[in-house]
């Protein structure tokens, strides 16, 4: 029912047999002296509780196991209380305004395949709509609070999907431009993963959806296009071209070039120069 993996919370919002229980729901305006500390405790009776924050004004620092976060209006946090320690500190002169709630789930607990994850931290794009849902939740009681919580989490998940698709698309466009501009920048997929923090499979899916081919295939094509130009118009040796294009050695480059073009790099250079000579004589 709930699963926590890699700073993502997986909840099957649509599971009808599960009862949502809101333990507390409050809006607070915190003075500059505000401090909050929570220590992880797997033995605590609160192990099933998850804390939700919707920041509505001011700023504060939240220390988590992943580092310090600056919290400001539009930030939405989900924090499993048993799994991590948290330390909140006010960082502005004005009030730090947030609505928070504790919730637990009663019912089936196993993770459900296909459920979309909710990041521990979301930056909302339609803050006002989320605030209206939270206001309805705060004004409700009993089972209605659980229903409004489901609506709120579903809306946050929707905003993450919209933002994620547009952001990921921009990143994949950027990655394609970088590969074409400098085919030697990345030696392979692992180098791309160091800059674009997705799983290997997810990066491949995103890139293929945007460009129509995998990043590996895109990289090979960019290298081949650049290699043809360098062989035809430069005096670089095959070894130098291989190094410029990110190959481990000239043999790997030559083998891939021949597979893709039908010629070795040296043979292609001779063929290209002869073709250019014939064109010059013909003109």
Query: Is residue 37 located within the same domain as residue 150?
Result: yes
Query: Is residue 93 located within the same domain as residue 149?
Result: yes
Query: Is residue 71 located within the same domain as residue 129?
Result: yes
pLDDT at 142: 86
pLDDT at 159: 82
Query: Is residue 133 located within the same domain as residue 188?
Result: no
187: in domain: yes
Produce one character per residue of 168-188: b if its CB has 16 or more CB atoms within 10 Å, e if not. beebbeebbeebeeebbbbee
pLDDT averaged per 10 residues, the chain (length 283): 53 68 91 88 62 91 80 87 82 87 69 56 87 95 89 85 71 88 93 88 84 89 91 93 95 95 92 64 50
175: in domain: no
Q: Scanning the structure block, which residue is given the tokens 């998940």?
A: 157
Query: Is residue 138 located within the same domain as residue 197?
Result: no
Alpha helices in the chain (DSSP H): 127-139, 143-181, 189-195, 200-211, 215-233, 238-244, 250-261, 265-282
Query: Is residue 104 located within the same domain as residue 199?
Result: no
pLDDT at 268: 92
Residue 87 forms beta bridges with which residues? 37, 63
Query: Is residue 147 located within the same domain as residue 222?
Result: no
Query: Is residue 73 located within the same domain as residue 133?
Result: yes
173: in domain: no
Query: Is residue 28 located within the same domain as residue 154?
Result: yes
pLDDT at 132: 94
Query: Is residue 138 located within the same domain as residue 261?
Result: no
pLDDT, tens digit (0-9, with 9 covering 90-100), for 108-164:
454 444 455 566 788 888 899 999 999 999 999 988 998 899 899 888 888 877 666
219: in domain: yes
Which pTM was predicted?
0.56
Of 17, 46, 21, nearest in space to 148 by CA:
21
Query: Is residue 24 located within the same domain as residue 123?
Result: yes
Choose one of 136, 164, 192: the last residue of a domain. Answer: 164
206: in domain: yes
| Count of structural domains within the chain | 2
Query: Is residue 196 located within the same domain as residue 274?
Result: yes
Choose one of 106, 135, 164: the last residue of a domain. Answer: 164
117: in domain: yes
What are the backbone dihedrals phi and psi of residue 209, each rounded to the nearest 5 degrees, phi first? -65, -30
169: in domain: no
Q: What is the CATH number of the domain that holds 76?
A: 2.60.120.280
Q: What is the CATH number of the domain that holds 270?
A: 1.10.10.60
Q: Which domain holds residue 273?
A: 182-283
């Amino acid at each position: 029912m709930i699963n926590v993996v890699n700073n993502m919370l997986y909840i099957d919002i649509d599971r009808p047999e599960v009862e949502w229980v809101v333990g507390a729901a409050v809006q607070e305006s915190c003075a500059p002296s505000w401090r909050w500390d929570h220590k992880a405790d797997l033995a605590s009776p609160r192990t099933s509780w998850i804390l939700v924050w919707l920041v509505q004004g001011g700023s504060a620092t939240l220390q988590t196991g992943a580092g310090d976060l600056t919290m400001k209006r539009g930030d939405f946090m989900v924090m499993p209380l048993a799994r991590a320690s948290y330390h909140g500190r006010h960082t502005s002169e004005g009030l730090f305004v947030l609505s928070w709630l504790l919730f637990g789930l009663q019912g089936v607990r196993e993770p459900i395949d296909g459920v979309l994850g909710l990041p521990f931290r979301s930056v909302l794009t339609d803050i006002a709509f989320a605030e209206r849902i939270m206001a309805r939740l705060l004004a409700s009681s009993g089972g209605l609070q659980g229903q409004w919580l489901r609506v709120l989490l579903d809306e946050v998940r929707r905003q993450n999907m919209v933002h994620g698709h547009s952001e990921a698309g921009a990143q994949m466009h950027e990655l394609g431009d970088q590969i074409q501009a400098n085919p030697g920048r990345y030696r392979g997929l692992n180098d791309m993963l160091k800059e674009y923090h997705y799983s290997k499979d997810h990066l491949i899916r995103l890139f293929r959806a945007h460009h129509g081919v995998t990043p590996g295939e895109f990289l090979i094509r960019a290298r081949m296009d650049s290699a043809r130009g360098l062989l035809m118009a430069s005096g670089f040796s095959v070894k130098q071209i291989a190094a410029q294009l990110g190959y481990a050695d000239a043999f790997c480059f030559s083998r891939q070039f021949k597979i893709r073009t039908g010629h070795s790099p040296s043979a292609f250079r001779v063929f290209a120069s002869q073709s250019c000579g014939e064109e010059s004589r013909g003109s």
